[in-house]
A and B are shown apart, each in its own frame.
Chain A
Amino acid sequence: MTTTQTFPLKQETDIVVVRQQVRKAAEQARLGLVSQTKIVTAASEIARNALIYGGGGECRIEQQMRDGRTAVCLIISDQGPGIEDLDKAMVDGYTSGNGLGLGLSGARRLVDDFVIRSEPGNGTVVELWKWR
């Protein structure tokens, strides 16, 4: 069984909606409370990046099976400028703005699988997975 829902990321308040929907999906997948909190927090970071740096995008929320376990999979994408140096962007503390540079590196630590694809000029896609 897979269910998919897509939510826009066009304004700040959309980040709140995404957090609430990810929480719902994590509850439905029967993740534990700490796992729920982690994936919601990771989603918040990546969604904000898509909005601020990517100029907006969307968040797809799916329930999937992964190695026989129920998983929540989030695909957060934008059509912004992309990330020039991914390795650098993934380092703790690196920011091109005035953040703490914790969003990407922290989100990766919070989830069970983290996939990022980004090319200059071609936007950014981040996949976040958390399973039971």
Chain B
Amino acid sequence: MVDRIPILKMGQYLLLSIQVDMHDQLAIDLQEDLTEQIVRHKAKGVLIDISSLEIVDSFIGRMLAHIANVSRILDAKVIVVGMQPAVAITLVELGLSLEGIATALNVEKGMRWLERTVDRDMSLEPESDDDTDISAEAGN
């Protein structure tokens, strides 16, 4: 059995593709690896491709929600891409809404969303050397 999900770094983004049926410990390890790498690489965005996943149960759903929460605190955007329709239908019926997690149909769309969202965020950031002008932060 696979004992690690590889995480790729591309510029300011981290990419990972879950291609195996994960047992619970593997999901927990992934969660920890990813957190550590976001910090180490000062990543601005994370793209998680789950197009190969044939099911998402409450455990994996909770892992995805956890990753989204931790990333938010670390100021990285997360997007989950490629969820199969049968998986989406099943998740809703299971009662797991995954609300608060951004999703996109495929890797390309997800990447574009990340770039747009991260760019917009950067342009809203106050200049580091002035004493933060509230009106500038609130957008013009």
Return B99 CB to nearest CB of chain A, in Å: 13
- Which residue from chain B places its CB closest to the CB of A32 in the assembled complex? B86
Q: Classify the secondary structure of A's interface with B.
A: helix
Complex Cα–Cα for A40 and B94 (A): 12
Q: Which residues of B contact A20 (CB under 8 A)?
A: 21
Assess the A99–B58 pair: CB atoms within 8 A. yes
Return A113 CB to nearest CB of chain B, in Å: 15
Tell me if A34 counts as interface (CB < 8 A to partner B). yes
Complex Cα–Cα for A125 and B111 (A): 45
Q: Which residues of B contact A16 (CB under 8 A)?
A: 1, 21-23
Stretch in A1-9, A67-75, A76-84, A101-109 with 4+ CB within 8 Å of B: A101-109
Assess the B21–A34 pair: CB atoms within 8 A. no
Q: Mark A17-34, 1 if CB is under 8 A from B, else 0.
A: 001100100000000011
Which bucket holds chain B's interface residue count? 20 to 34
Return A7 CB to nearest CB of chain B, in Å: 14
Tell me if A119 counts as interface (CB < 8 A to partner B). no
Tell me if B136 counts as interface (CB < 8 A to partner A). no
Tell me if A96 counts as interface (CB < 8 A to partner B). no
Complex Cα–Cα for A99 and B57 (A): 12
Q: Which residues of A contact B21 (CB under 8 A)?
A: 16, 19-20
Tell me if B139 counts as interface (CB < 8 A to partner A). no
Q: Which residues of B contact A99 (CB under 8 A)?
A: 58, 62
Tell me the residues in window 15-32 of chain B with beta carbons closer than 8 Å to chain A beta carbons: 21-25
Q: Which residues of A contact B86 (CB under 8 A)?
A: 33-34, 36-37
**Chain A residues in contact with chain B, CB under 8 A?**
12-13, 15-16, 19-20, 23, 33-34, 36-38, 40-41, 44-45, 48, 92, 99-100, 102-103, 105-107, 109-110
